[in-house]
């Protein structure tokens, strides 16, 4: 897929993967599903779900490092600043939009426009939090979150999936 095709697909994902509501119990159920899928696949992931900055689910699976939580923090900052998934912001930068630097009023050390963080958008409310992973290459980080959100929300992933990267 081209960068432009990726961006359009990511926009469709963000539109389709919205919640009707999200309680603390819902966040725990989603996080538990994600953890189970990661364990099944042997993925070394940190999984973080938070609403309004409040951590509702967190796990660090075998193979993660102390650097992974830092990547989570920086990806979350991107989503909460731009209200887009972190991979979309990175793809938009790759397509030629302005980089994340002091000209945009951000410190690059605090932002990671890489795949793996997705906004929690509650219909009728807006973006209230994030679902984030770190530990595998960025496109796979994004794919993992996307597939888990599809499973949890009952959305068919096939028409929304990213193809192979060009």
Cα atoms in the 13 Å half-sphere on the side-chain side of 35:
16
CB within 8 Å of 155: residues ≥ 6 apart = 16, 17, 149
pLDDT at 79: 98
pLDDT at 1: 79
Three state DSSP letters for the chain: CCHHHHHHHHHHHHHHCCECCCCHHHHHHHHHHHHHHHHHHCCCCEEEEEECCEEEEEEECCCCCCHHHHHHHHHHHHHHHHCCCHHHHHHHHHCCCCCCCHHHCCCHHHCCCCCCEEEEEECCCEEEEEEEEECCCHHHHHHHHHHHHHHHHCCCCHHHCCCCCC
In contact, 118 and 17? CB cutoff 8 Å:
yes
pLDDT at 137: 97
pLDDT at 98: 80
Centroid of chain to Cα 42: 19
Residue 116 has pLDDT above 90, yes or no: yes
User: pLDDT digits over 128-147, tens only?
Assistant: 999 999 999 999 999 999 99
Residue 76 has pLDDT above 90, yes or no: yes
pLDDT at 105: 85
Residue 126 has pLDDT above 90, yes or no: yes
């Amino acid at each position: 897929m081209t960068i432009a095709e990726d961006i359009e697909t990511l926009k469709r994902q963000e539109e389709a993967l919205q919640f009707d509501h999200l309680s603390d119990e819902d966040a725990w159920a989603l996080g538990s599903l994600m953890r189970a899928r990661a364990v099944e696949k042997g993925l070394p992931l940190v999984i973080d779900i938070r609403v309004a900055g409040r951590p509702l689910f967190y796990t660090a699976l075998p193979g993660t490092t102390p650097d992974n939580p830092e990547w989570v923090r920086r990806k979350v900052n991107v989503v909460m600043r731009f209200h887009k998934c972190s991979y979309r912001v990175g793809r938009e930068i790759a397509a030629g939009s302005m980089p994340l630097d002091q000209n945009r009023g951000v410190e690059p050390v605090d932002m990671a426009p890489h795949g793996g963080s997705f906004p929690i958008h509650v219909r009728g409310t807006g973006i209230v939090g994030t679902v984030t992973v770190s530990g595998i290459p960025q496109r796979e980080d994004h794919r993992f979150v996307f597939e888990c959100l599809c499973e949890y929300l009952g959305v068919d992933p096939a028409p929304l999936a990213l193809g192979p990267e060009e």
